[in-house]
Structure 1
């Protein structure tokens, strides 16, 4: 018996694995910074302050990154169901929509969340740790410069998700193909 494979399910799973690797790298980086600057910086203290001022962008960006990673993995399950269980073939224009979905979710999602994380670090003064070796003063003015890129990445994410929803719906409604044995 031949094992069936979901092309799009596999692509989204690979994307989720890459996203998981990136978020793991971010977590290990935070631990590394804590270890290097242990006497000057307490990351737990910084995170406890993350609901105040610009630092909340760091926390929200981090949480949204985790959500995007899970969303990409769940999307893989949807495409696996569509291609394997429902025996739907994704071809032609639907294929283009699914590519837009994959790229939009990953580029828009990672761009949005990393921009928010960076904005939180820059605005809270934590980014000065890398350049000056200590947490600097909060800079609320810098936060305005992050709004256009975050909004642009959210637009890319939205286009990707909308194209994916349309592609999935059209493919789901399509007649199933038969597998020759």
Structure 2
């Protein structure tokens, strides 16, 4: 069995595995058939209604694409540097890798989960008050969704900062001897 020289590949693969677990939990939340028994609005119904529910769908799709798939693929970048090129992260590049790992995972989970939550709340409100009711649509967008725009933007910024720092570390480590 081959042993790894570096640690970043396994860290990102484990992060993708954990994110994948949470994606499964979100999926179960979406397809759970028991909502109607408790008088709640099913997330699958909100997604089908569109409008505010599309925030939920968009957050869910982005979470799977970035939180699970992109994090796993990022592990392959680290594998290439550490195992194929034989350049183990140390010192400054190790700090950049840590910032990449932490900021990207927190930013992606924070922004996509906030999108899903806001979409669920807005979609639930519209499902109860009518998706063709202009007053309800206005209320949902102004009072439920709008307050989430800035926090979601900040979390996207955290994720992007993590990716930029990781890319910088990747470039520096690949150029070092």
Same fold, TM-score > 0.5, yes or no: yes
Alignment match, 2:4: 4
Partner residue in 2 for 1:116: 115
Matched, 1:140 2:141: yes
TM-score by length of 2: 0.85
Residues 103, 155 of structure 1: CA spacing in aligned structure 2 closer, same or farther, 3 A cutoff? Answer: same
Higher helix proportion:
2
Summarize the alignment of residues 80-99 of structure 1 with structure 2, pairs less than 5 Å apart. 80-99=79-98
For structure 2, which runs of at least 5 residues remain unmatched after alignment?
A: 130-135
The size of the alignment, in residue pairs, is 165
1:85-139 Cα shifts (integer Å, max 9, x gaps):
100121111111111100111000000100001111111226x9xxxxxx42352
Q: Which residue of 2 aligns with 1:56?
A: 54
Structure 1 unaligned regions, length at least 5? 129-134, 176-181
Q: Distance in 2 between matches of 1:136 and 1:100?
A: 43
Aligned residues: CA RMSD: 2.1
Give, in whole Å, the separation in 2 of the partners of 1:115 and 1:80.
31
- Aligned twin of 1:103: 102
